[in-house]
Chains A and B, each alone.
Chain A
Amino acid sequence: MAKSWEEINARIANGEAVVMTAEEFGDIAAEQGVSTAAKQVDVVTTGTFGPMCSSGAFLNFGHSDPPIKMGEITLNDVPASGGLAAVDTYLGATEPSNVRGIEYGGAHVIEDLLRGRAVRLRATGPGTDCYPRTEIDTWVTLEDLNQAYLFNPRNAYQNYAVAVNSGDRTLYTYLGTLLPRLANATYCSAGALSPLLNDPTYRTIGVGTRCFVAGAPGYVAWEGTQHNPHGDRDEHGVPIKPAGTLAVIADLKQADPEFFSAATFTRYGVSCFVGIGVPIPVLDEEIAATLALTDAQLTATVFDYGVQRRSRPALGTVTYAQLRSGQIEIDGVKVPTGPISSLPKARRVAEELKSWITRHRFTIAPPLQQLPQVGAQAFKPLEVRTEEAI
């Protein structure tokens, strides 16, 4: 019954493609079997909406008169990189404000731009023959910018840790507030809707994959930073720990603030929620089998963040269905759970992507290059060493 990318794209172009979200596909596969579901459905849409720190935007401001070679740059008092050409910058989402600290950061500037608000741009430069101006203080809007595109080096983590804290003091982490003595557990994945959990071996998702990025049509640009295909996998070949990641790119001018939300994690820092959705073609029964997996089958590993080291002890695995029930059990102790990744928003992403494909004939693209697979370069730690030790 194998279908080709070309056949599926022809059906999309003709408005005949059958498209379902990963949750809907799981339901129909449970009712009618994977084989029937695989025949009926052409594309399955995925979606996730969690905090993704490794995000940011490239911006080009255009040249003032007289022009300036911007060195130190701030946007609403948030520093942006001056290490590019004269009026190019990269604004990182986690950069805190010089004035408001982590209550307002790069992600908040990006959200303000998306909401059409003017942002104060201040910069200084060395003053050169071709760029004589040494200071600028002005206001810019998203519309004013020549280019503004999101380039997020690490989004859409394939699975993530469940965090608990066995220590005796509250911890403030990127996985939220962890109460002492295992009093809560937090988790961060869209589970059955998560893009890379639906394509565990990166068969259809690779460089050049067309996808949904913060409400804009975008692309998978590269493997994400810390992409690691090697970790432990379950009997379906699905990772049970943080594994693959995606670097994505999209036009900020086409993005939607509904799918990009700045965030502050108390005593941790700035981050942003990004809506990412990837369409997956139902090429054959093998891929249909993983698309059909539900929260009851997908698992995540519980890590003790009370141990503040690179390698935190694992305390076993739990299913996403257990996590979503609001309570898990660790060594016989009942621990209340709470998510960090929004399921209602993940569903919105998958629905929106579905409507792009069915209504707007958004076609799908086979990878131009595969993401690193098992057997590729191992994921390496950073060793602390002296020059003599090299």
Chain B
Amino acid sequence: MAKRRLDLTFPPRQATKPITYHLVKDFDLTPNILRAQIQPGQEGRMLLEVSGPREVIDQAVEFLEGEGVAVHAAASDICLDEQQCVVCGLCTAVCRPGALTLDQDSAELVFDKDKCVYCEACVVACPRRAITLTF
């Protein structure tokens, strides 16, 4: 089983088609929507984590592209401004998936991008406004 994070961009007219339904029904993948911004008549974006056999994910990507959806591997969307960060650790207190933690010895901040679900709790909690999220 593989897990991949996809950054999908929908053309305005495509945005109402039930893409995730097809990923489940036709490809038997497990999609997990991390973030989505979809409105009728406008370009939409969705950050999707899909789990399933590697080759099936590849087929699903081909299907999505065939449907006019632009598919990119999800980039690092959470940005930490290390000049601003004072390593207080408050972001770790609100990070439910445990993506942000403090190293047990150095107490320095560790960010495990793979665990991040882009909930933005850290963005709101950071007293230095050092964390930003693009998309």
Contact = CB atoms under 8 A, between A and B. Distances in A.
Nearest to B89: A339
B51 to A, nearest CB: 25
Contacts of A266: 124-125
Given A324-B107, A338-B92, A345 B87 contact: yes
Interface in A218-265: 261-265
Contacts of B95: 338
Contacts of A339: 88-90, 92-93, 102
Given A103-B129, A324-B107, A343-B107, A176 B94 contact: yes
Contact of B127 (A271, A345, A347): A271
Given A263-B127, A264-B129, A344-B107, A326 B101 contact: yes
Contacts of A326: 92, 101-102, 104
B96 interface: yes
Is chain B's interface secondary structure helix, strand, loop, or mixed overall? Answer: loop
Given A324-B107, A326-B101, A340 B129 contact: no
Nearest to A265: B127
A339 B102 CA distance: 9
Interface stretch (A153-161, A183-191, A279-287): A183-191
A363 interface: no
Contact of B93 (A265, A271, A325, A336): A336
Contact of B88 (A177, A325, A337, A340): A340
A264 B126 CA distance: 8
Contacts of B4: none
Interface string A12-56: 000000000000000000000000000000000000011100000
A181 B135 CA distance: 30
Nearest to A263: B127
A184 B121 CA distance: 13
A337 B93 contact: yes
Given A266-B125, A326-B101, A342 B86 contact: yes
A183 to B, nearest CB: 7
B93 A344 contact: no
Given A340-B88, A344-B87, A177 B125 contact: yes
Interface string A263-292: 111100001010000000000000000000
A179 interface: yes
A114 to B, nearest CB: 14
Contact of B106 (A261, A262, A344): A344
Interface in A146-190: 176-177, 179, 183-186
Nearest to A343: B107
Interface residues of B, number: 24
A9 interface: no
Contacts of A340: 88-90, 93, 127
Nearest to A50: B88
A261 B89 CA distance: 14
B77 interface: no
Contact of B108 (A179, A336, A344): A344
Nearest to A347: B107
B82 to A, nearest CB: 12
A337 to B, nearest CB: 7
Q: Give the most central of B86, B92, B125: most A CB within 10 Å.
A: B86
A265 B101 CA distance: 20
B87 A342 contact: yes
A324 to B, nearest CB: 7
A266 to B, nearest CB: 5
A184 B93 contact: yes
Contacts of A341: 88
A341 B107 CA distance: 11
B22 interface: no
B91 interface: yes
Interface in B96-132: 96, 98, 101-102, 104, 106-108, 121, 124-125, 127-129
Contact of A177 (B87, B89, B93, B102): B93
18 contacts: A49-B88, A176-B90, A176-B125, A177-B90, A177-B93, A186-B90, A263-B128, A271-B127, A324-B107, A336-B93, A338-B89, A338-B92, A342-B86, A342-B87, A343-B102, A344-B106, A344-B107, A347-B107
Interface of A: 49-51, 103, 176-177, 179, 183-186, 261-266, 271, 273, 324-326, 336-345, 347
Interface of B: 86-96, 98, 101-102, 104, 106-108, 121, 124-125, 127-129
